[in-house]
Amino acid sequence: MLASIFTRVSKPQFFPSFLFTSRLIRTQMESESKPKIYFACDHGGFDYKEKILEHLTSQGYEVEDYGCHSCDSVDFPDYGYKVAKSVVEDEENRKGIVVCGTGIGVSIAANKVKGARCALCYDYFTAETARQHNNVNVLALGARTTGIEVCKQVIDVFLKTKHITDVEKYPRRLAKLAELEDAEFK
């Protein structure tokens, strides 16, 4: 399984090969159980929607599709919020994917939900780091800024990379984020 993941993920252009190789060796991957994925896009992400849903379902993921359902203009906050809310409320399946033109708008909307940690990722490194260091539970993608094949690779890394819990600083930082949320989201 791991070999097939790594063959689909290309080396980021800005990393020397020796760094990428060591990163592959130390990447912690999720177990084989597949969570339900909450998905939504606005009209800017609609062109990628079917390709992403097909990519996920072909790997055995169950996908809850919150739309949108055409290229007609819609408001991204409705979609980013709905996915993040579902991810936070679901104790068992805590992963979501949101797509808009740049990924920025839906990530802002998703991060308005207490407990949601949405990151805009655009390559292997950002997806891996978002999961390992920040335990991100919602992935944002930009359909107008990132090619579909790269988006699929980012999704694979996001869904299979585990949060690092055995290094003290990462859980400590997440606890601080939770404290900030408690103070701000009353």
- What's the number of CA atoms in the CB half-sphere (13 Å) around residue 141? 29
Across-strand partners of 31?
A: none
Give yes or no: 69 in active site.
no
Q: How far apart are CA 148 and CA 47, in angstroms?
A: 10
Element housing 138 (H / E): strand 138-142
**CA angle at residue 9 from 117 to 137, to 5 degrees?**
10
Give yes or no: 100 in active site.
yes
| Catalytic position from the list 100, 118, 121, 151 | 100
Q: How far apart are CA 36 and CA 21, in angstroms?
A: 30
- Which residue's entry shows tokens 């260091």? 133
Is the C-alpha dihedral spanning 145, 151, 157, 159 positive or negative?
Answer: positive
Q: Quick one: angle between helices 169-184 and 124-134, nearest 10? A: 80
CA dihedral in degrees (123, 174, 169, 18; nearest 10)?
A: -10
Structure tokens at 54: 């097909």
Active-site residues, by number, are 100, 133
